[in-house]
Amino acid sequence: MEISGRCDVEFKIITAVWNSEPFFQGYADSILSQDDDYDVIVFDDASTDGTSELAEYICDLNFWSFIQNHQNRGVPYAQWCSTHAIPHEPEDVFVFVDGDDQLAPDALNRLRRYYEEDPELLLTYGQYRSEPFSPTCSLAGPYPSNVIQRRAYREHSVLGRGIPWNHLRTVRCSLFDQLTEDDFKFDNGEWYAMSGDAAVMYPCLELAGDHFKFIEEVLYIYNSENPLSEWRKAPGEGDRVHQHVLHRPPKVKVVYDRNPVAVEMRRVRMLREQ
Q: How many CB atoms lie within 10 A of CB 167?
A: 25
Q: Where are the alpha helices (DSSP H) in the chain?
A: 21-32, 51-62, 75-85, 107-117, 145-150, 153-158, 173-176, 196-208, 230-233, 235-246, 260-273
259 alpha carbon, distance to own chain's centre: 29
Domain architecture of the chain: domains with CATH = 11-273 (3.90.550.10)
Q: For each of the chain's 274 residues, which pLDDT tens digit applies?
A: 444 444 578 999 999 999 999 999 999 999 999 988 899 999 999 999 999 999 999 999 999 999 999 999 999 999 999 999 999 999 999 999 999 999 999 999 999 999 999 999 999 999 999 987 776 678 899 999 999 999 999 999 988 888 999 999 999 999 999 999 999 999 999 999 999 999 999 999 999 999 999 999 999 999 988 655 655 566 688 889 999 999 999 998 776 555 555 566 666 665 665 5
The one-letter code for the residue type at 159 is L
Q: Do 55 and 21 contact (CB within 8 A), yes or no?
A: no
The residues, ordered by sequence, that sit 6+ positions from 216 with a Cβ below 8 Å of its Cβ are 126, 127
| pLDDT tens column, 90-102 | 999 999 999 999 9
The residues, ordered by sequence, that sit 6+ positions from 182 with a Cβ below 8 Å of its Cβ are none
CA atoms within 13 A on the CB side of 150: 16
The residues, ordered by sequence, that sit 6+ positions from 109 with a Cβ below 8 Å of its Cβ are 34, 35, 36
pLDDT at 247: 93
272 alpha carbon, distance to own chain's centre: 26
244: enclosing H helix or E strand? helix 235-246
